[in-house]
Structure formats: structure tokens, C-alpha cells
Amino acid sequence: MPETHNDRRAFLLTVLAGGAGYLVWARSGPPPPYIPPRVRIAGFDTHGNPTGVTEVPTIQKSDAEWKRLLPLDSWWVTRRQDTELAFMGKYHNFEGDGLYRCICCGTALFDSRAKYASGTGWPAFTEPIARENIIEKPSATFGIAQTEVRCRVCDAHLGHVFDDGPPPAGLRYCINSVALSFAARI
């Protein structure tokens, strides 16, 4: 009988230590990705007209700097790859005419003309304003293979792209509202 008591105690201590270790690991966030010092992006004026492709410096800040600069919900989504709750974001039903820019750096990401009502609870776009301005990369959350969408200039997590969108391309860029700022077309 005493061995069973010690076995139980060892098991419980192992579970507690493992849980504590996991919490520390989860709170530390993902390792920082390699970000080149400069990238080429497409620029757009206040009417949404292209102004050409230019080379710009990437924006690299510490986690503490981003946390100071961003609203907490935007920080969790853009810097920690979180997701806002469906149907709660300010842009999921928004119908303004203009450009959606990165909340972190202001890079033009999507034009309202590519936005559509997907019924999913997040803003959905058929395409980015310019392929140069985003990065698409494979990701897996809970073992589900997805394609993550990030800002090319500051590496902010924006959302994901899925292949269940409308024709002709059949793509749905499912983007978190808190990762975006809206600039009305002038």
C-alpha cells in the first residue's frame, strides 16, 4: 500500500510540473521569425490607386514595444496569433468604401471592393490589394492545416486564407477586425 501512495504522489507531481511547464511555454509565445531588413511592397494613394512598388524597411519592435503601442486585443491577435470572437469584430458587417490597412504599421492590405459577406463572422475578402503586401505561410492550429496571412512589413498575424470563397479565384481571406484599420476612400 505505501508504494501506491508514493506512485500517486509522483504521478500528481509530474502532472503539475508538466502543466506548469506548458503554461510557461505557452505564455512565452512563438519564437520570433526571421524578418528581412527591407521588403518590396505596393503603395496606394487615398483613392486606392496604385502608386508603384517600392522598397521599404521592415518594422521590428520588441514584444514590450508592440504591447505599449497596440490595444490589447490587437496585440493578442497580431503578435500572438490569437483570433477574435466571430461576429464581434467592428468590420465583419462594415460596408464603408476604402482601404483596410495593417493596425500595426499602416500597410495597405485589402480594398473594400474585394470585401464580401461570407457569413463566417469575420471580414472576408476575395483577394489582397497587392500580393506584395502580404505573406501567406502554412500553419497548423490544433493539428488543422491552414494558410496564415501576415503583413509583409511588420509580420503581424492578420488571419487565414481558405479555398471556399466565391468565383473566380475561390479564395476567402478571413481577417481579424482588430488587425485592421480602415481608411475611407477620398
Set 104, 151, 154, 174: catalytic member: 174
Active site annotation includes 154: no
| Alpha carbon distance 153, 171 (integer Å) | 23
* Four-CA torsion 173, 176, 177, 182, nearest 10 degrees: -50
Q: Would you call 41 helix, strand, or coil by DSSP?
A: strand
| Alpha carbon distance 5, 91 (integer Å) | 56
| Alpha carbon distance 42, 40 (integer Å) | 7
Q: Which residue has the cell 479555398?
A: 163
**Inter-residue long-range contacts of 34-39, CB under 8 Å, 24+ positions, other chains counted:** 35/60, 35/155, 39/152, 39/153
Distances (CA, A) of 143 to 25, 26, 146, 183: 18, 16, 9, 36
Q: Which residues are catalytic?
A: 174
